[in-house]
Structure formats: structure tokens, C-alpha cells
Amino acid sequence: MTTKCENCALRRKDTFESMSAEEIKFMERFKVGEMVVEAGTTILMEGSNSPQLFTVLHGMALRYKILLNGKRQVLNLIFPGDFLGLQAGIMGEMSHSVEATTKLTLCVFDRSEFWSFFKERPDRAFSLTWLAALDEHFMGEAVSTVGQRTAVQAVSWALVRVFLRAQGLGLVKNGAMRFPFVQQDLADALGLSLVHTNKTLASLRKRQLAHWSDGTLRVPDLEALSQVAMLEDMSPPKRPIM
């Protein structure tokens, strides 16, 4: 029933580093199964200590925190290939929640085996650290965006990042991609109000820079949008998959 790592289509996407046959075999040992959850399901909960780790095989999700005043900060949009639960695996407790935006297929790993990654497979441990460092890198960009960019720049930044990510996964067809989030999600990610996010999107639409409606995102000229976003390097590095 479950996909074998060997046959996993994800591995072959551009974004990911290739793995040796032997590495794949090793990973297979960790996989305890697959899990499918409906849109809206909370997969990991802030403060909890999940016994499981996941890799997203299909679908999209949302990382977020809820502040004491009830406000929500979206930290990250989750795409196929993303690894979930590292924080719980390392520090014993999640500092954010993860919620499925679409129906989600997850590859499930057992956390109790986590240690053997480090003991037996230094290369896998290195990949794990790489992923943590990559997330930190991204969060640094996010802070800079929320702190220093204007609304137009921030929204452009987010859309470019999303689009690049999707390109690396082969999810862009004819300059368009599935983008199943709602405007409130983007607003909460950028520290903007829903109303202003809406107006900003409208402005980008009018300027022919980005069209997002009905769950579909189209970017006619990625270069131009990046310019507006004040983004220089447009190439995300190849990343390991876990």
C-alpha cells in the first residue's frame, strides 16, 4: 500500500539532492507508514511532544504560532518534501503548530529511532542539521521582510518564494500553480491586515505582476516580481530530503 522510498517520486524533483541506493534503503527502515489527513487537521501542536516525525508527500500546510492576545503568526508555508517535527525531535517540544491546508499525505517516521540517525548515519545527521539551518535562513528572510519591507514588497516577496519553491517541485504548469491558501493566511504571514493584503494583491494584479484567485497563482514575469520584492538571489539551494 505505502510507497517505497525507492519509488518515491519526490526524490527525483529538482529541489532535492540525490541519495545513494544505500541511503534510501536505510531510510526505508525508519518509515513506519503513511498517513492521510483531511484539510483543516492539526498535525502538530505547539507545546506538544509528538512521538512521530513526518515528511510531506502530497498537499500543502501551514506552520503558525498563536500569541497570548489571540493573534496568529504564520511562520511558513509547507510544501511536499518538507520535514515536520524536527523541533520536537531535538528539543522535545514544538514551538509552533502545523495545520493541513489541503488533504495531506504524510510519510511517518518513528521518533524513538531518531538517535540512530546520529549514531549510525552521520550523513543523515548532517542532512538533518542542514534542514534546520535552511529553516533558520528562511526565517531570517522572513523577519527582514516583516520588519523592513513595505506591504507591496512583502507580498511580492512571499509570492516569489512560493513560486520558486513550486518550480523546484515541478508544480508550475504554464506559468501557473495551485495555491490553496486564503488571503488571511498570507496576511498573518506578513503581519498585515486582511484588508490591506487584499488591496495589495489587487494592486499587483492591476500591475500585471501576480494573479492569485480561486486557488491559482499566476506570475507572468517572475523577474519583474522579484525586482519589486527586492530579491536578488532567486535560486534556492538544493536541499536534502529526509
Partner DNA sequence: CGGATCATTGAAGTCCCTCAAGTCCTGTGG
Partner DNA sequence: CCACAGGACTTGAGGGACTTCAATGATCCG
Q: Which residues bind a second copy (CB under 8 A)?
A: 65, 67-69, 71-73, 75, 86-87, 90-91, 95-96, 115, 118-119, 122-123, 125-126, 128-130, 132-137, 139-144, 146-149, 188-191, 230-232, 237
- Count of helices and strands (H, E) across the chain: 8, 11
* Contact by Cβ (8 Å): 206, 199: no
DSSP 150-168: -HHHHHHHHHHHHHHHHHH
Picked from DNA, a second copy, none, the partner binding residue 122 (CB below 5 to 8 A depending on kind) is a second copy
Q: Is 184 in the site for DNA (CB under 7 A)?
A: yes
User: Which of residues 27, 62, 192, 225 is near DNA by CB under 7 A?
Assistant: 192
Tell me how far apart the alpha carbons of residues 206 and 212 are, in angstroms, rounded to a whole number.
Answer: 12
* Contact by Cβ (8 Å): 10, 235: no
User: Which of residues 5, 53, 98, 151 is near DNA by CB under 7 A?
Assistant: 151
Helix (H), strand (E) at residue 54: strand 52-58
The minimum distance between CB 214 and DNA, in angstroms, equals: 8
Place of cell 491586515: 193
User: Which of residues 35, 108, 125, 152 is near DNA by CB under 7 A?
Assistant: 152
What are 236's three cell numbers?
534556492
User: Which of residues 31, 72, 111, 199 is near DNA by CB under 7 A?
Assistant: 199
The minimum distance between CB 136 and DNA, in angstroms, equals: 25
Tell me how far apart the alpha carbons of residues 165 and 162 are, in angstroms, rounded to a whole number.
Answer: 5
Residue ranges that bind DNA, judged by CB under 7 A: 150-152, 182-184, 191-199, 201-202, 213
